[in-house]
């Protein structure tokens, strides 16, 4: 199973506020980034071994246009991500991304590239290598 990293839980960082006014989020809230370029959500995630990991980014975008962000892993921009309109701020959608992680601690930052800022970010689920327990028996 993936490991869930909530946007409101340290050591995650939200350049904005942790809000709870749009229902359907996991945990105790979500990151409402400031509506500004570079107002990011950052997660610190663990990988048991170096290699490919699958991210599930849960977000809501109640506007009528997509919001774009750079995906920055350990300080390097690896791709641009489009967070499409979800229809309402309380309609949450999970976007799946693939990244390469190193063994141990990694930072994953979503950095908005326009003054609209990020979509609201609820959490990321991370399925990394090396964390599956061995079969028992």
Site membership for ligand GCU, residue 5 (CB under 6 A):
no
Q: Are 98 and 18 in contact (CB under 8 A)?
A: no
72/124 Cα distance (integer angstroms): 14
Comparing CB distances to Ca ion, the nearer of 114 and 131 is: 114
Question: Least separation, in Å, of the C-beta of 117 and ligand GCU?
Answer: 5
Tokens of 91: 């309609």
Q: How many chain residues touch ligand GCU (CB under 6 A)?
A: 8
Site membership for Ca ion, residue 15 (CB under 5 A):
no
Question: Considering only residues 71-110, where is the footprint of ligand GCU by CB under 6 A?
Answer: 89
Site membership for ligand GCU, residue 117 (CB under 6 A):
yes
CA 36 vs. chain centroid, Å, equals: 17
Q: Are 30 and 23 in contact (CB under 8 A)?
A: no
What region, left, alpha or beta, does residue 115 occupy, with left being phi > 0 and alpha being psi -120 to 50 degrees? alpha
Tokens of 39: 């107002």
Which of 21, 29, 57, 61 has its CA nearest to residue 42? 57
Site membership for ligand GCU, residue 120 (CB under 6 A):
yes
Binding mask 18-47 for ligand GCU (x = CB under 6 A): -x--x---------x--x------------
Residue numbers at the binding site for ligand GCU (CB under 6 A): 19, 22, 32, 35, 63, 89, 117, 120
Which residues in this chain contact Ca ion in the complex, by CB under 5 A? 32, 35, 117
């Amino acid at each position: 199973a993936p490991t869930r990293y909530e946007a409101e839980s340290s050591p995650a960082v939200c350049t904005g506020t942790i809000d709870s006014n749009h229902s359907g989020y996991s945990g105790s809230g979500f990151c409402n980034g400031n509506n500004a370029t570079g107002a990011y959500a950052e997660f610190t995630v663990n990988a048991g071994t170096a290699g490919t990991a699958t991210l599930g980014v849960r977000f809501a975008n109640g506007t009528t246009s997509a919001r774009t962000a750079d995906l920055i892993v350990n300080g390097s921009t690896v791709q641009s991500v489009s967070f499409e309109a979800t229809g309402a701020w309380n309609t949450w959608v999970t976007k799946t991304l693939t990244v390469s992680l190193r063994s141990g601690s990694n930072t994953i930052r979503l950095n908005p590239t326009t003054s609209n800022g990020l979509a609201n970010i609820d959490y990321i689920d991370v399925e990394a290598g090396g964390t599956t327990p061995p079969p028992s028996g």
